[in-house]
Amino acid sequence: MEYRKKTTRRLLLFAAATMVSGHFILCAGQDISFSVSMENPNSHTFQVTMLCTGLEDSSVSLVMPTWTPGYYQILDFAENVSNLKAFDGKGEPVGLVQKEQYRWNTDRYVASLTVEYDVLAERNFVATPYLDPERGYIVPGGLFFYPEGEIGSPVSVRIEPPGSWKDIATGLERVKGQENTFIAGNYDVLYDSPLLIGELEELPSFTVRGVPHYFTGYKLGDFDRPALIRDLQKIVQVATDLFDHIPYDHYTFIGIGPGRGGIEHANSTTVSFNGNNLSTPDQYTGVLFFLAHEYFHTYNVKRIRPIELGPFDYIGGSRTHMLWVSEGLSVYYEYLIMKRAGLCQEVELLGAFQRNIKANETRPGRLVQTLAEASYETWRDGPFGGMGDGANKTISYYDKGPLVGLFLDLEIRHATDNSRSLDDVMRRLYTEYYREKGRGFTEDEFRMVCEETAGTNLDDIFEYVYTTRELDFNRYLGYAGYELDRSSFTVRELPLASEPQLKIRSGWLNGSQ
């Protein structure tokens, strides 16, 4: 259905027919729309108006998420809300009672509710809203309330940018015929679709399997634009070939400006990007690794996901023991995709693993915290584990995760005479759990898919997930004719690698069996 937004307030817009016990019941839905203005960007403050109509006779509970998917930390977005006011359909004030830090309830029944508020956005970071005189970055979870129980409702957003800001980059669908207006089918889509507003640069788009891919950003800097687009296309090509399927209609890389970090979304990624820092081959390759990582997440975590990561708990956070799969294996595949795309050589691929090996093996916390625990405790410890003394008690799943991924891949190849690999695990998770079952997988299911692919039990591998047993590098590297020099944390070729070892190595490096 095409969404058409009227300019007048309406009591009812959406209706959903639901089959219950053989009877069709017509349920009145709500119409929820936001407008966002930036009257004084110097103040780092967004002005937001929320309009809800078609409310049933009950008090409305307005909730601001405490975190945003992809960044597994409590950020308490409600702290930045001020000047909160509400009105009914006649313009009469409605009282809002703050029940918790993130929740306000209306003090009386209303059928139509307008809420006005400001959001302070002065932290320039990929997981938080930001506004300055040059651009606005909307992380929707930090700007938009949801009425409790209405996560499934469609939501529209109209942006009113300052005069000279003519561009908006987002994965959201535009509402035809309405300037700067976007629609999300539900709040999960909205909260997964940041918007960047300003005077942006759009690089030439490219297609893979007929699907358009865009790169748009703020202050992209000075670099070889055609080279970046050409190499990005190779990355997308290799990743999509792995699954033989593209799950979105369009995809946008959104460069939010210089800084650190990126967050994956279903049909976009928001990445800190500074083209002025791409002048050396190492810098350039490093950025491609980073972009390959964020892009691979469109499969691994946005679709191939632990069962706990959806539907999201926007208040309490969504905890899982499997972030090592979502993050660690995305690091692993960022490396492999770069090699398979011809964007790095074997020595650089091994070098990437060496950095993870050194980081993990020199961290005392490896003898204290398991990979599963690190996944679960990221909400407490931070994405890279604890810092300072915390490093003695914690690990980073960004370091140990890709190493266990490497062991798992090489074990599957070894156990199947190189006829299967971790690629088969990822493909089956994508096909069976995302496409067919429409859900995430449990820890037991992940292990079952790995073991069925390998055709053998993988107790030894999963000990590395659930215990602090020291990693046996030479057992698994040996399957591909490599060994680890522990004194320098260097991975080198075995001088007399056998034919089966060379076959596994070749398949692993080139992405084939």
Phi-psi map region of 278: left, alpha, beta (phi>0 left; psi -120 to 50 alpha): alpha
Q: How many residues bind Zn ion (CB under 5 A)?
A: 2
CA atoms of 47 and 197, how far apart (whole Å): 14
Q: Please tell me what DSSP assigns to residue 54.
A: S
Q: Please tell me what DSSP assigns to residue 200.
A: -
- The span from the first CA to the last CA of the chain, in angstroms, equals 45
**Residue 134 has which token pair?**
């040059």
Residue among 267 and 330 whose Cβ is closer to Zn ion? 330
> Which region among 135-143, 321-329, 378-386, 433-441 touches Zn ion (by CB under 5 A)?
321-329
CB of 431 to Zn ion, least distance (A): 22
CA atoms of 139 and 126, how far apart (whole Å): 8
Cβ contact 62:146 at 8 Å = yes
> Which region among 138-146, 200-208, 324-332, 349-357 touches Zn ion (by CB under 5 A)?
324-332
> Which region among 319-327, 429-437, 458-466, 494-502 touches Zn ion (by CB under 5 A)?
319-327
> Which region among 134-142, 323-331, 463-471, 477-485 touches Zn ion (by CB under 5 A)?
323-331
Residue among 104 and 398 whose Cβ is closer to Zn ion? 398
Residue among 14 and 384 whose Cβ is closer to Zn ion? 384
CA atoms of 66 and 192, how far apart (whole Å): 14
CB of 25 to Zn ion, least distance (A): 42
Q: Which of residues 325-344 bind Zn ion (CB under 5 A)?
A: 327, 330
Residue among 265 and 340 whose Cβ is closer to Zn ion? 265
CA atoms of 355 and 349, how far apart (whole Å): 10
Residue among 359 and 491 whose Cβ is closer to Zn ion? 359
Q: What single string gives the DSSP state of each residue in 228-249?
A: HHHHHHHHHHHHHHHHT----S
Residue among 192 and 327 whose Cβ is closer to Zn ion? 327
Binding mask 269-308 for Zn ion (x = CB under 5 A): ----------------------------------------
CB of 327 to Zn ion, least distance (A): 5
> Which region among 15-23, 189-197, 322-330, 350-358 touches Zn ion (by CB under 5 A)?
322-330
**Residue 77 has which token pair?**
């977005």
CA atoms of 306 and 318, how far apart (whole Å): 10
Residue among 141 and 481 whose Cβ is closer to Zn ion? 141
Q: Please tell me what DSSP assigns to residue 325.
A: I
CA atoms of 446 and 85, how far apart (whole Å): 47
E strands, 244-314, where? Answer: 251-255, 262-264, 268-271
Q: Cis peptide before 41, with omega less than 30 degrees from 0?
A: no
CB of 401 to Zn ion, least distance (A): 10
Residue among 327 and 399 whose Cβ is closer to Zn ion? 327
Residue among 156 and 330 whose Cβ is closer to Zn ion? 330
CA atoms of 301 and 325, how far apart (whole Å): 8
CB of 398 to Zn ion, least distance (A): 8
CB of 270 to Zn ion, least distance (A): 12
CB of 430 to Zn ion, least distance (A): 17
Binding mask 401-440 for Zn ion (x = CB under 5 A): ----------------------------------------
Q: Among candidates 75, 10, 109, which has minimal Cα distance to 379?
A: 75
Instruction: State the virtual CA torsion across 457, 460, 461, 466 in degrees, nearest 10.
Output: 110
Q: Which of residues 117-156 bind Zn ion (CB under 5 A)?
A: none
**Residue 290 has which token pair?**
């980073």
CB of 256 to Zn ion, least distance (A): 16
CB of 263 to Zn ion, least distance (A): 8
Where does this chain bind Zn ion (CB under 5 A)?
327, 330
